[in-house]
Structure 1
């Protein structure tokens, strides 16, 4: 039986909105017809410093069982709503970081709550199947409605995974296996290959390599880590193979004032890619592919022009190797297109595209020739989670119904123009405003200034994060609006003015 107060809540809360997570947790609903009045806050609310005393105490407690050094604050997810995150101390912050770029529709979106409540979905939330062996009856329908409906143009094959790093790992395996299959000319592997691979020796474990870029981030597991070059904390003490690392372009801004210089910089980096491929091939360490982020995330939000990525594709085609885009941070509409590489007008689809974060599930799309030929080559117990694909199916519907990609573009232009205006006023402190859609960044003059801004902004109700050494990165939800940009810019001016005076 429900308490009388909860019953009174029932009777007063028949509205057009869906139940918030607080109501779900307290079980103060009986059917889809009974709904609460939860809505996004109008503005931030700060009661304590961030993190506050309760968050600090919880962090200290967590530190007794694991390293809690990276914890910013503890979150009250029941009270978080839309673009606002609530912490353990009762503070409400406008969240422009969204769990490190991972929340497509913000917190407690009513359509996702309705999806969780739908009785037809319960079995796939309760039971997590070993998808490679025992997929559910509706699996192909779910894949078509969710992942394949959002697939990059020209890519019709998809493999689910659990996270971004394991998605990248299995992209690497796909490239390696495809290259070796081509080298065998369609013949089966030899007995020597089958035996030597079991003891980590060639020819079964060949000395294959992949080109990656300076300041890249592709994950923290061992294979992905081989291509990660952003920060020492990711790599120190971990043995790594010697693979080719090319320099990623460092563009000058505003772009229209440095066209000649930026083209020269990109040509320099492209020449290095070609030199490295030739060098490693001669060393009998063949390059099988190039892995690149459309916008380098963790390494400092570094961007390149469509010309650079078109040229990379030409290099891979000339050398008959694979081109992989790591879209873990940039996928699912963050740049105003579903996939950032769609901005580059490539001649043909890339060979592989990894995803996670806003896509709610990990995985990768790939061209048909990269399909594994033997069972169990791309495999683990779960290879994803069908409950996340169910949620993604609803996300895909909301993006289309509400034309959120158009909203991302409009809000992104407004954010970029607002930052560019501020950049002129605070010349010398901030610079290099850049981005696509709402996947935006700006640089501070040094790491200390950037970190100071992030701390002060949190204490004024804005949650943001950094990338690289001195970059402020924006990773909001797809439902961010111009009114939220105005709230942010008010705080931005108040903090930066204090720093500039």
Structure 2
């Protein structure tokens, strides 16, 4: 195996070929994490117990490349989780490293602008070159933020402002309304965002109020009166359960309409609805494309703003740049939020949501132009190497092979996915957790989700040879 340290040859080579050619998973310690990692975690826990409680390995950045992540003990893992679905081109991709050497990157890092007041001189052009270059169909503008949670949180605020402006027929508010708002009083308090059981939209107060995955992250926190409705629970394989699944989706759609109308009658209107194309943390659950089209139509009929949370599904991994493009909507969403593999974070919106009176949508940095330098490099590589359609092909290959494994190993259930967003179930949470832990001991990083599911979240450069190694390591884990 090649040296773990990245040589100039790797950085300079043309990246039309596989960046991590010749690499494979290899463990150097009897168990992982190894002794160095264990010692560092003990020290880490003394400084930051909140973060130490969730860590898996200490990531050796310099020693990682492509789809392989190294830890501080010299172990190398095939990474099918990609930094919780945020490493777009894998590790130390030469195009990204070159972008980091650019004068723009150095200027933005050394002189970070407070974007709300002092956007840098080229910021409008930078937005056009990056975020608007890959904008979802129908979006008129974009606002940058720092992470997925604050993207969703500020999208909610944009929806609330738009809803109130529409209802009162003006964007003017009185001094009395402002005074009342200072003491958490006012008409806006009646509004809500609808979400779905199994959803995950973040951990800030508004987002946590829309999240329905793990009670542990919400318990003891005073949250908002936001309605959470049923998400379709589809049966697999889909082709064998078409009638049952259609009935389940119809039931959920009727519940959505009923709750919207019921809350309107009670004077607690639903201003917006948020949904993920695939419920990632909730177990990689999804519905048929028809379900989302009908959901969009309900929002139009009931005057509810429609928000699509693409934080974990955007940036090509579904086989389209935006996963909701698979739905074939006649009317685009009102808002699309993004983060993770987009490198930058924020939300796209239609012009009806462009009011920022207050300013309501504001913080010191309002995003980071340095991240857009990296996104520009990602978009270039994606176009040059045709990575998005490749993700569709690789994902289909992986899904087919896991389906084949499910015939041999009965513990693999409900195989599903779109592009490389592939997932399957195990009989229980304990069984799932054991597979994830054992896979790590075999040099494979996987991500658990929901009550008993495993999800794949590899980078866009994850190709068929990586898929073959994944399948080998996964089956080795099942035979453990």
Give the TM-score of the pair, scaled to structure 1.
Answer: 0.91
CA–CA distance in 2 between the matches of 1:290 and 1:14?
Answer: 49
CA–CA distance in 1 between the matches of 2:356 and 2:25?
Answer: 54
Corresponding residue for residue 310 of structure 2: 327
Q: Secondary structure at the match of 2:415?
A: strand
Q: Secondary structure at the match of 1:93?
A: strand
**Is structure 2 residue 436 aligned with structure 1 residue 454?**
yes
User: How do 1:349-388 residues align onto structure 2 when only pairs under 5 Å count?
Assistant: 349-374=332-357, 376-388=359-371
**Is structure 2 residue 46 aligned with structure 1 residue 64?**
yes
- RMSD over aligned Cα atoms: 1.8
**Is structure 2 residue 2 aligned with structure 1 residue 18?**
no
Q: Alpha-carbon deviation of 1:192?
A: 2.6
Corresponding residue for residue 93 of structure 1: 77
User: How do 1:394-409 residues align onto structure 2 when only pairs under 5 Å count?
Assistant: 394-409=377-392
Corresponding residue for residue 448 of structure 2: 466
CA–CA distance in 2 between the matches of 1:405 and 1:122?
Answer: 29
8 Å contact kept, 2:23–2:68: no
Q: Secondary structure at the match of 1:77?
A: strand
**Is structure 2 residue 163 aligned with structure 1 residue 170?**
no
8 Å contact kept, 1:158–1:364: yes
Give the TM-score of the pair, scaled to structure 2.
Answer: 0.95
- Size of the alignment, in residue pairs? 470
**Is structure 2 residue 144 aligned with structure 1 residue 144?**
no
CA–CA distance in 2 between the matches of 1:194 and 1:457?
Answer: 55
Cα distance per residue 1:288-322 (max 9 Å; x no partner): 11111110011110010111101111110001110
Q: Secondary structure at the match of 1:78?
A: strand
Q: Assess, with a 3 A threshold, how the Cα gap between structure 1 residues 122 and 187 changes in structure 2: closer, same or farther.
A: closer
Q: Alpha-carbon deviation of 1:191?
A: 3.1
**Is structure 2 residue 63 aligned with structure 1 residue 76?**
no
Moved over 3 A (4+): 37-41
Match of 1:435 among 397, 410, 417: 417
Corresponding residue for residue 389 of structure 1: 372
Corresponding residue for residue 477 of structure 2: 495
Q: Alpha-carbon deviation of 1:14?
A: 7.0
**Is structure 2 residue 264 aligned with structure 1 residue 281?**
yes
Q: Secondary structure at the match of 2:239?
A: helix
Q: Alpha-carbon deviation of 1:39?
A: 4.4
Q: Secondary structure at the match of 1:79?
A: strand
Q: Alpha-carbon deviation of 1:19?
A: 5.8
**Is structure 2 residue 25 aligned with structure 1 residue 44?**
yes
**Is structure 2 residue 476 aligned with structure 1 residue 483?**
no
8 Å contact kept, 2:439–2:474: yes
Cα distance per residue 1:380-439 (max 9 Å; x no partner): 000111100111011111111110011101110110000000011112x11111111001
**Is structure 2 residue 246 aligned with structure 1 residue 235?**
no
CA–CA distance in 1 between the matches of 2:88 and 2:178?
Answer: 44
Q: Secondary structure at the match of 2:11?
A: coil
Corresponding residue for residue 412 of structure 1: 395
8 Å contact kept, 1:329–1:356: yes
8 Å contact kept, 1:443–1:472: yes
User: How do 1:139-288 residues align onto structure 2 when only pairs under 5 Å count?
Assistant: 139-186=123-170, 188-203=172-187, 205-288=188-271
Q: Alpha-carbon deviation of 1:40?
A: 4.9
Unaligned runs of 5+ in 2: none
Corresponding residue for residue 27 of structure 1: none
Q: Secondary structure at the match of 1:149?
A: coil
From the CA coordinates, give the structure whose radius of gyration is larger.
1
Q: Secondary structure at the match of 1:166?
A: helix
CA–CA distance in 2 between the matches of 1:143 and 1:359?
Answer: 13
Match of 1:112 among 72, 76, 96: 96
CA–CA distance in 2 between the matches of 1:475 and 1:39?
Answer: 18
Q: Alpha-carbon deviation of 1:187?
A: 5.7
Q: Alpha-carbon deviation of 1:121?
A: 3.2
Q: Secondary structure at the match of 1:365?
A: strand
Using the TM superposition, name which of 93-102 and 189-198 deviates more.
Answer: 189-198
CA–CA distance in 2 between the matches of 1:279 and 1:166?
Answer: 29
Match of 1:55 among 37, 56, 62: 37
Corresponding residue for residue 339 of structure 1: 322
Q: Secondary structure at the match of 2:133?
A: helix
8 Å contact kept, 1:19–1:113: no
Unaligned runs of 5+ in 1: 1-8, 21-31
8 Å contact kept, 2:206–2:224: no
